[in-house]
């Protein structure tokens, strides 16, 4: 039963992280290249654009949810399992989500990268 809770919490962490990453990435694409924006209208306008973007705050909320799920996961499972498992699942989940929701061209090169990084992170726990 403990396993079920641990893996449930790990999945919750990964899901909330993926949602947060996708929302934040989407928000920053709406804001546009901050280097160009900064050069044109200054740092204040960059900050104002980010802080008036509703998607940005949804993303931050999802990240907060991920953080609290991580605390729950850590109270049931070992950090050496929870950390790498959640990070690996987040990498794979992000590759899918970025393709579907952000319309990024996740080509073979990027799939291989996501899988290699996810496997590498899992091995770091060993």
Partner 1 sequence: MTFRKYVVLAGVTVFAAAGDSMLSHGMKQTGNISIHHLSSVVLAVLNPWVAVGILLLLAFFGSYMNALSWADLTYVLPATSLGYVLLALVAKFALHEQVSPMRWMGIALISGGVGFVAGGPALTSHDHHRPHGSGGSDCRSSHVVGAASGGAEP
Unique residue bearing structure tokens 């393709």: 99
User: Which residue of 2, 4, 44, 109 would you call a contact of partner 1, by CB under 8 A?
Assistant: 109
Is 14 a binder of partner 1 (CB under 8 A)? no
User: Which residue of 1, 4, 44, 126 would you call a contact of partner 1, by CB under 8 A?
Assistant: 126
User: Which residue of 14, 15, 19, 21 would you call a contact of partner 1, by CB under 8 A?
Assistant: 21
User: Which residue of 7, 8, 34, 58 would you call a contact of partner 1, by CB under 8 A?
Assistant: 34
List binders of partner 1 among 49-78 (CB under 8 A): 50
Contact 82, 6 (CB under 8 A): yes
Shortest gap between Cβ of 109 and partner 1 (angstroms)? 5
User: Which residue of 1, 4, 40, 51 would you call a contact of partner 1, by CB under 8 A?
Assistant: 40
Separation CA 86–CA 18 (nearest Å): 10
Q: With CB under 8 A, what is the number of residues at the site for partner 1?
A: 43
Q: Which residues bind partner 1 (CB under 8 A)?
A: 21-22, 24-25, 28-37, 40, 50, 91, 94-95, 98-99, 102-110, 112-117, 119-124, 126
């Amino acid at each position: 039963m403990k396993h079920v809770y641990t893996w449930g919490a790990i999945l919750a962490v990964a899901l909330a992280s993926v949602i947060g990453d996708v929302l934040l990435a989407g928000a920053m694409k709406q804001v546009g290249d901050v280097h160009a924006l900064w050069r044109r209208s200054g740092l204040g306008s960059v900050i104002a654009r980010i802080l008036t973007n509703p998607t940005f705050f949804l993303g931050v909320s999802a990240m907060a949810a991920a953080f609290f799920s991580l605390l729950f996961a850590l109270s049931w499972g070992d950090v050496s399992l929870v950390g790498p498992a959640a990070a690996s699942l987040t990498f794979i989940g992000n590759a899918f989500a970025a393709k579907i929701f952000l319309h990024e061209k996740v080509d073979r090169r990027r799939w291989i990268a996501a899988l290699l990084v996810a496997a590498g992170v899992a091995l770091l726990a060993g």
